[in-house]
């Protein structure tokens, strides 16, 4: 029997957004309110974590360990999941200069949810890609034997959770668009869509490394690339967590027009990209585009 917190949840709401910038080009805009899929764990973080939590409990683990930066939504979601399930969580945080300082709001929430935080230098954090370094790091963090959720939560099980998001969109859209950090959500979403539907990812980090990353996530989960997906690479606005004034005012205006809170690090960049691509005539008239609202501020 599943833990009650892990039973499958109803599909997240899908709503039409009437917006003249899209209507003028014959494009229908839908919002997939995945930020509402779980009361405490928004959107894709829930979809990625739930199958991992199930696997951890089935294998008899009573602790999870994961990794992230000082503002990581993934660390916060993992800490909240640990509290809901009554299992321990350890967060390995990038940047040992943070160790002696007061916690920022995000890390303070992790700690309040019972997550034990372990700060490490940037070089040791990077070195965790090596299995021996990782084992030593987990030992030092007192997390030996804990279930390991990778940085950003993107692994094969996470992709399976996000494929469910794709299945919820069968028959209702031509394009399903999502903002990308690690690319795990896009990788699973694309796998879950029906033939003829396509997924469009908007990377919020600069760098151009993401397509290879998504191919390797899909190869680990499915043995090779799956689904019809592509990336719109020019909408990172300078990099992760950069919110220039023009993006800020676009997001505030979008929130006011459509009556929901627009998360700035990911969702604002997605909505900007879709508005720009639509007004540039990228989508043929008659296209239905769904913006996946992956989180809330």
- Residues acting as catalytic residues: 72
Minimum CB–partner distance for residue 182 and ligand PLP (Å): 3
- Decide if residue 291 touches ligand PLP (CB under 6 A): no
Q: Smallest Cα–Cα separation from 17: which of 284, 270, 232? A: 270
- Decide if residue 73 touches ligand PLP (CB under 6 A): yes
- Decide if residue 52 touches ligand PLP (CB under 6 A): no
- Decide if residue 227 touches ligand PLP (CB under 6 A): no
Q: Which of 119, 125, 229, 266 binds ligand PLP (CB under 6 A)?
A: 266
What sign results for the dihedral spanned by CA atoms 218, 224, 225, 227? negative
User: Which parts of 177-216 interact with ligand PLP (CB under 6 A)?
Assistant: 179-185
Give the range of 40-48, 83-91, 99-107, 169-177 binding ligand PLP by CB under 6 A: 40-48
Report the distance separating Cα 178 and Cα 76, nearest Å.
20
- Decide if residue 295 touches ligand PLP (CB under 6 A): yes
E-strand stretches of 33-180: 63-68, 88-94, 115-120, 147-148, 175-180
Residue of closest CB approach to ligand PLP: 295
DSSP state of 12: P
Minimum CB–partner distance for residue 280 and ligand PLP (Å): 23
Q: Which of 152, 161, 166, 227 binds ligand PLP (CB under 6 A)?
A: 152
Q: Smallest Cα–Cα separation from 75: which of 51, 47, 41? A: 41
Cβ atoms within 10 A of the Cβ of 253, count? Answer: 11
Residues recorded for the chain: 297
Q: Smallest Cα–Cα separation from 220: which of 229, 228, 212, 208? A: 212
Residues that bind ligand PLP in the complex, under the rule CB under 6 A: 43-45, 73-74, 152, 154, 179-185, 263, 266-267, 294-295
């Amino acid at each position: 029997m599943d833990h009650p917190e892990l039973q499958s949840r109803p599909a997240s709401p899908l709503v039409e957004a009437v917006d003249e910038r899209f209507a003028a080009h014959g494009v229908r805009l839908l919002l997939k309110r995945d930020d509402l899929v779980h009361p405490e764990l928004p959107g894709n973080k829930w979809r990625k974590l739930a199958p991992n939590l199930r696997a951890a409990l089935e294998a008899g683990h009573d602790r999870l360990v994961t990794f992230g930066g000082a503002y990581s939504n993934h660390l916060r979601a993992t800490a909240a999941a640990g509290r809901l399930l009554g299992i321990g969580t350890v967060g390995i945080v990038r940047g040992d200069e943070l160790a002696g300082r007061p916690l920022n709001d995000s890390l303070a929430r992790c700690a309040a949810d019972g997550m034990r935080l372990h700060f490490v230098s940037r070089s040791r954090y990077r070195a965790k890609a090596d299995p021996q370094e990782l084992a030593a790091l987990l030992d030092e963090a007192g997390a030996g034997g804990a279930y390991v959720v990778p940085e950003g939560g993107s692994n094969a099980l996470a992709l399976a959770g996000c494929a469910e998001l794709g299945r919820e969109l069968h028959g209702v859209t031509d394009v399903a668009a999502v903002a990308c950090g690690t690319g795990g959500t896009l990788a699973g979403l694309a796998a879950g869509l029906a033939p003829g539907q396509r997924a469009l990812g908007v990377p919020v980090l600069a760098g151009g490394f993401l397509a290879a990353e998504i191919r390797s996530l899909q190869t680990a989960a499915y043995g090779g690339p799956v689904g019809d997906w592509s990336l719109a690479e020019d909408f990172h606005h300078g990099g992760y967590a950069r919110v220039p004034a023009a993006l800020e005012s676009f997001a505030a205006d979008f929130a006011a027009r459509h009556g929901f809170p627009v998360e700035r690090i990911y969702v604002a960049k997605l909505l900007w990209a879709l508005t720009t691509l639509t007004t540039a005539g990228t989508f043929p008239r008659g296209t239905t585009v769904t913006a996946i609202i992956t989180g809330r501020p």
